[in-house]
Amino acid sequence: MVHLKIAGIMFAAVGIGMAGCATAPPPDMGRTTVLPLAAAHSDITFMLTTGSRQQAACAEVPVCRNGGGAVAGKPTPIAVQVQRVARVLQHGVESLYPDLALRIPGFTDRGFDVYIAAGDEPGSVSSASGRIALNAAFGVSLPYDDWLAFVIAREMGHVIARHHEENSSVSIATSVIMNILIPGSGLLKSAASTIGAELVVGSKRDRQASEADAIALNLLQAAGFGLHDVALSLVIASAGLDDGSWSQGFRKSSDKLIAGARGSRFADASDSAAAGSAR
C-alpha cells in the first residue's frame, strides 16, 4: 500500500508539472511559465555538476603537454579554437536576438561565456545565464570549426529557448509538491522529488532537443556557416563519438541536420536540372 501511495503521488506530481508547462510562447523561447529563482537554481546545478574551468595553459592539459607542438603556458589549441568559433556564433546571436540580455535573467551584454572544462569524455553543458562548458576531451579529436560550431550552437539553442529554466522550474515545483504531500522522512521526500522531476524532464527531452537544433541551425546560418559544410564535418567526425549519453543525443541531432542537408542538395540539383531543361 505504501508503494502504491508513493507511486500515485509521483504520478500526480508529474501530471501537475506537465500541466504547468502547457503554455506556448514562441518556439525559440520555451513553453513553460518560469518560476522565480529557476535561473539561479540552474546556475547552481551547473556549477556543482560541471568540471573545473581550465586556465587554457598547455602545461595543465596532458593531451597538449604530451602531444607536442605547443609551448607551456600558452593557450591550448582547443581553447583558442572554441573562443574563435564562439565569437563568430555570437555575431549570429546578436543578429537574431539583439534583446537577449533583457529576456534571460543573468545573461549579460557580453554574450555567451564559452570555455573548456575538465572532462575525459566528449560532452557539453550550459546554464540558464549563458555559460557553456565543453569538455577538454574534444581537443583529442582536433575537430573542424563547422563541427565545433554545431556543438556550441546547440547549447546556445537550449539557453535561448530557456530549457534550463524550464527544467529547474519543474524541479522546484516537484520539490514543493512532495513536501506538501509526503509527511515524515526527508530522505523519502528527496528521492520522490528527484524521480518525479526526472520523469517530467525526460518527457520533454526530445522536444527540447528539436527546438535547440532548430535554433542552432538558424544561428549557424546567421553567423555565416554553410549547411553542407557543417553536415560534411558531422559525417567525418561521427566515428570519433563514443556510446555515452551525450554522444547519443548529439548523433541524433547530427543525423537530422545531415538528412536536411542532403534533402536541400537534392532539391537544389532538381531545380538546376529543371531550369536547364527549360532553356
Which sequence spans correspond to the domains of the chain? Answer: 22-267
Higher pLDDT, 170 or 197: 170
120-161 tens-digit pLDDT: 889 999 998 899 999 999 988 889 999 999 999 999 999 999
pLDDT of residue 183: 64
Task: Match 546567421 to its residue by C-alpha cell.
Answer: 222
Percentage of residues of the chain with pLDDT beyond 90: 36
Return the sign of the alpha-carbon dihedral for residues 252, 254, 257, 260. negative
Confidence of residue 24 (pLDDT cuts 50, 70, 90): very low
pLDDT of residue 216: 97
229-243 tens-digit pLDDT: 999 999 998 777 888
pLDDT of residue 118: 85
The reported pTM is: 0.75
